[in-house]
A and B are shown apart, each in its own frame.
Chain A
């Protein structure tokens, strides 16, 4: 069966520090991969998605970037965190663009 892992579960970082969140999927190949952010009082917002290795689409201009160095690995990064980057970050995968999306457990990021 397929599983999705995200880490860390929680993270507290100072403003201006770098960020690296990792997401891996097991039990499937060539998945579509997604990064979402859920800010307090707001809905889920799609940040990035990827349909293959090295292929990244950005949905909103922001301080973050994403990379997909391996088929089942998706990384969310920042060189310098802003206060506004605080939120709950969720990784998801699907077999195709119109298929069910399965979500990881999320990372709670607090930028202080």
Chain B
């Protein structure tokens, strides 16, 4: 059974800092991995999708990497801003065809 873990559960950093969010999964047989952002009381916004054959994806200040063999992904946020404050969720799509989500990392960027 696929399990997805995100560490840390919460993170507080000063504005301008570069930071890394971690995601690990137990079953390396995945099709892809997605990173989402969720603002309080809101739906999810897809940030990046990495196919199983890819090593990383970039969008603006965000860079996501995938090491399928070790069951790990990281989301790197460069030059963090207060507007980046949100909960970040990673989810893996396995051979069941269903997205399995981690519990999320709640990020606070202080001005």
The smallest beta-carbon distance between B9 and chain A, in angstroms, is 10
Chain B residue at minimal CB-CB distance from A104: B43
Give B contacts to A, CB under 8 Å: 4, 31-32, 34, 36, 41-46, 49, 89, 91, 93, 97-99, 101-104
User: Closest CB-CB distance, B72 to chain A, in whole Å?
Assistant: 18
Enumerate chain B residues within 8 angstroms of A97, measured Cβ to Cβ: 93, 97
**Which of B44, B49, B97, B103 contacts A90 (CB under 8 A)?**
B44
Whether A108 lies near B46 (C-beta < 8 A) is: no
Known: A44-B89, A108-B41. A102 touches B46 (CB 8 A): yes
B-binding residues in A (CB < 8 A)? 6, 42-44, 46, 49, 59, 88, 90, 92, 97-98, 100-106, 108
Q: In the complex, what distance in Å separates the CA atom of A98 from the CA atom of B4? A: 18
**14 A-B residue contacts at CB 8 Å?**
A42-B103, A43-B89, A43-B102, A59-B98, A97-B97, A98-B97, A100-B34, A100-B46, A101-B34, A101-B46, A102-B46, A104-B43, A106-B42, A108-B41
A4 → chain B closest CB, angstroms: 8
Contact A43 B98 (CB under 8 A): no
B31 contact from A6, A44, A98, Cβ within 8 A:
A98
Cα A105 to Cα B43 in complex, Å, equals 4
Partner of B99, one of A42, A46, A108: A46
Complex alpha-carbon distance, A88 and B46, angstroms: 18
Contact of A44 among B32, B49, B97, B101 (CB under 8 A): B101
Interface pairs A-B: 7 shortest CB-CB: A103-B44, A103-B43, A44-B101, A105-B43, A43-B101, A97-B97, A106-B43
